[in-house]
Amino acid sequence: MSIGEGSASDEVDRIVAAWNTQRPDLDFSPLEVFSRVDRLSRLLDRARRDVFRRSDLEPWEWDVLSALRRAGAPYRLSPKQLLQQTLVSSGTMTNRIDRLVGRRLVRREADPDDGRSVQVSLTDDGRVRVDAAITRLVDAEATLLSALPRGDRERLAALLRKLSLGFDA
C-alpha cells in the first residue's frame, strides 16, 4: 500500500479537518499540499544540515563546492558561472569564495583562455569533502523516501517537477 492510501492521518489532516469545520465554504486542498511540502522542507533542511555538518561543511559551502564538482574535471567555473548556479549576489559570492579559499577547499586561478579573468577550482580536499557529502546526502534522502515504493517516488518527482515548472513560468 502506498502512502496516502488507507486510514492513516497526519497533523495536516487534523488542521484541515478543523478548518473545514470552521470554514466549510473554502477549498482546503491547497493547504493539504503546501502545508505538507512546508513540513517536509523543514525536515529535509534539518537532515541536510546534519549531513553537511558531518562533512564539515556549511550549506552555503556545499552549494559552491557541489556546483564545481558537477562541472566535471577540472572542477573549475568562473565566479559568474557560480553566481548563476547558486543564485546569490556578486558580493556574497566573492565573500564565499574568499572563505572557501581560506579553508583551502577551492583556489583562484587565472583563466587558461583569458589571462585577465579568474576561475575557481576545487582543491583535492574540497573534492573529497563534496564527494563524502553527496554520498551521505543521497543515503539520508533515500532513507527519508524509504516509505515510498519506487513508482510512487517517480510519480511524486514528476508532479513536483510539473508544479515547479508552473512557478518558473
Question: Residue 105 maps to which CATH number?
Answer: 1.10.10.10
Burial bucket for residue 49 (CB in 10 Å: 0-12, 13-18, 19+): middle
pLDDT band, residue 6 (cuts 50/70/90) = low
Would you say residue 143 has pLDDT above 50?
yes
Query: Within this chain, do residues 66 and 110 fall inside the same structural domain, yes or no?
Result: yes
**Final residue of a structural domain among 92, 107, 123:** 123
Using a CB cutoff of 8 Å and minimum separation of 24, what contacts does 128-132 make? 129/55, 129/56, 129/57, 129/65, 129/105, 130/55, 130/57, 130/62, 130/65, 130/66, 130/68, 130/69, 131/69, 132/55
Q: Which domain holds residue 16?
A: 11-55+129-168
Per-residue pLDDT of 9-25, as tens digits, reads 899 999 999 999 999 99
140 and 162 share one domain: yes
- Put simply, whether the predicted model's pTM sits higher than 0.85 gets the answer no
In a domain, 43, yes or no: yes
Number of domains in the chain: 2
pLDDT attached to residue 1: 40
The Cα–Cα gap between 91 and 137 comes to: 28
Model confidence pLDDT, tens digit, residues 83-142: 999 889 999 999 999 999 999 999 999 888 887 889 999 999 999 999 999 999 999 999
